[in-house]
Amino acid sequence: AQTVTQSQPEMSVQEAETVTLSCTYDTSESDYYLFWYKQPPSRQMILVIRQEAYKQQNATENRFSVNFQKAAKSFSLKISDSQLGDAAMYFCAYRSKDSGGSNYKLTFGKGTLLTVNP
Amino acid sequence: NAGVTQTPKFRVLKTGQSMTLLCAQDMNHEYMYWYRQDPGMGLRLIHYSVGEGTTAKGEVPDGYNVSRLKKQNFLLGLESAAPSQTSVYFCASSGRLQSSYNEQFFGPGTRLTVL
């Protein structure tokens, strides 16, 4: 079974600076999807960015980018020019592409709580 | 487009009481999911459905039942609530798996407390 590990329970960053959140995963599959979700105090789960494993180019969405290292099974999230509204819990998630298995299911890490200091 | 909605948003139950959480989606999605979120545990899948009339167990199904009588609705039932079921419950939906990424869209959550 796949597992997702977020080794930083909490992180903090100064407004306007850059922060990187770590995520590693364990899988025997060669193709899959990876996601970062943001959960602000409102509780709403918001998709931040996504990456398909066979795509070597790192995904970017405005101030959010990932560093996808497939061999190392690492999928870190970089937030540039941090804003107060970025303060939230961030979850890394994995989805299999295996058509015969659990490709419906998201496996989540335990989350990293990001604080943005003014 | 309301997306995914959940009712109620908050609920307090006594041990042994029963209740049903309702999830509705207006995106014509095939797949629907129920997760629970506990502090330090991330989200864990309770049950899911791959289409109208079908349901299946996830990681933590014990103590819960589900039904999907209509494509747009997915109900989560607690027959005899226990304090261990105190949690925040999220519903999610997604389209066909063949679609790229098959992104899951989440509802706003239901905070349930069992005394």
3-state secondary structure chain A: CCEEECCCCEEEEECCCCEEECCEEECCCCCEEEEEEEECCCCCCEEEEEEECCCCCCCEECCEEEEEECCCCEEEEEECCCCHHHCEEEEEEEEECCCCCCCCCEEECCCEEEEEEC
Chain B contact probe: residue of A5, A37, A96, A104 with most B CBs at under 10 A:
A104
Helix, coil or strand: residue B98: coil
Contact list, B94 vs chain A (CB under 8 Å): 104
Q: What is the pLDDT of residues A80-103, one digit of tens each?
A: 999 999 999 999 999 887 665 556
Tell me which residues of chain A, numbers 73 to 92, contact chain B at a CB-CB cutoff of 8 Å.
91
Partners of residue B112 in chain A, C-beta under 8 Å: none
Do B97 and A103 make contact, defined as CB atoms within 8 angstroms?
A: yes
Given a cut of 60, whether residue A19 has pLDDT beyond it is yes
pLDDT score, position B98: 57
In chain A, % of residues over pLDDT 90:
79
Q: pLDDT digits over B47-92, tens only?
A: 999 889 999 999 899 999 999 999 999 999 999 999 999 999 999 9
What integer pLDDT is reported at residue A105 of this predicted model? 78
How confident is the model over B13-31, as pLDDT tens digits? 999 999 999 999 999 998 9
Contact B90 A91 (CB under 8 A): no
Tell me if chain B has a CB within 8 Å of the CB of A103: yes
